[in-house]
């Protein structure tokens, strides 16, 4: 069977590349792409170029919203606080546009970290901009964490009720957006997962942890790709 095409949102930054310095690139950590491919999908990078989003998303079978930098607080009616990184407005706009097309077409959406936060914000949710006691002890290193997952949920059906996931986030969901329900939590009560409240809705699930890492999240990616194979649910 032909692999479903999964659009995976990418970041834009500058890097030093071989002998070249300050090269503008659109990029994404390889584990995202490997996880999609391992689950049976064909990953395609979706760069943060808002005018190109719709053309790509009309051809995609699913959308994976990746992690990354902090979302612009203006999108949820807040001022930027001390520990919030400067906004990447082009990425915010491109990913919101991609999500809108995915929801209009009824194709599956899986979100990781920032991706989950952006889905919630798109539906009127808000974020806690800094969670110092929840943040990683060592910046730049993911921390394994066992989370509690609601058994009768998309996340629970795929990963079980106590999967080990890998976390690196200093922000979290404060008020969850409309039409979403929390289905996973950390020991300190932070929402670690959410999905569509209506079980008959197209596949829409998010994990605050970095689902591209670790083995316990493999079944979640497999469920996501299987949903993509089934085609749009409009």
Catalytically annotated residues: 113, 210, 212
- Residue entry with tokens 């989950």: 116
Q: What is the CA radius of gyration of the chain?
A: 17
Count CB-CB contacts under 10 A for residue 16: 9
Asked if 41 and 6 touch (Cβ cutoff 8 Å), the reply is: yes
Gap between the Cα atoms of 121 and 33, Å rounded? 25
**For strand 20-27 and strand 11-17, is the pairing parallel, antiparallel, or unpaired?**
antiparallel
Separation in Å, CA 116 to CA 17, 18, 56, 67: 31, 34, 21, 8
For residue 69, which phi and psi values (nearest 5 degrees)? -70, 165
């Amino acid at each position: 069977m032909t692999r479903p095409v999964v659009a995976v949102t990418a970041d834009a930054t500058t890097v030093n590349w071989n002998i070249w310095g300050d090269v503008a690139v659109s990029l994404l950590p390889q584990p995202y792409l490997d996880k999609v491919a391992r689950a049976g999908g064909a990953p395609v990078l979706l760069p943060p170029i808002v005018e190109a989003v719709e053309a790509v998303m009309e051809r995609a079978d699913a959308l994976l919203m990746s992690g990354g930098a902090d979302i612009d607080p203006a999108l949820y009616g807040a001022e930027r606080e001390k520990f919030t990184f400067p906004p990447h407005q082009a990425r915010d706009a491109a990913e919101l546009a991609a999500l809108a097309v995915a929801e209009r077409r009824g194709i599956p959406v899986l979100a990781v970290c920032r991706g989950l936060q952006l889905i919630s914000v798109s539906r009127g949710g808000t974020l806690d901009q800094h969670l110092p006691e929840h943040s990683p002890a060592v910046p730049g290193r993911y921390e394994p964490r066992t989370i509690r997952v609601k058994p009768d949920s998309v996340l629970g059906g795929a990963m079980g009720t106590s999967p080990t996931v890998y976390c690196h986030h200093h922000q979290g969901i404060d008020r969850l957006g409309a039409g979403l329900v929390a289905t996973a939590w950390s020991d300190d009560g932070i929402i670690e997962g959410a999905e569509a409240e209506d079980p008959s809705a197209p596949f829409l699930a998010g994990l605050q942890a970095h689902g591209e890492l670790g083995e316990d999240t493999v079944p979640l990616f497999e469920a996501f790709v299987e949903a993509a194979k089934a085609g749009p649910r409009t």
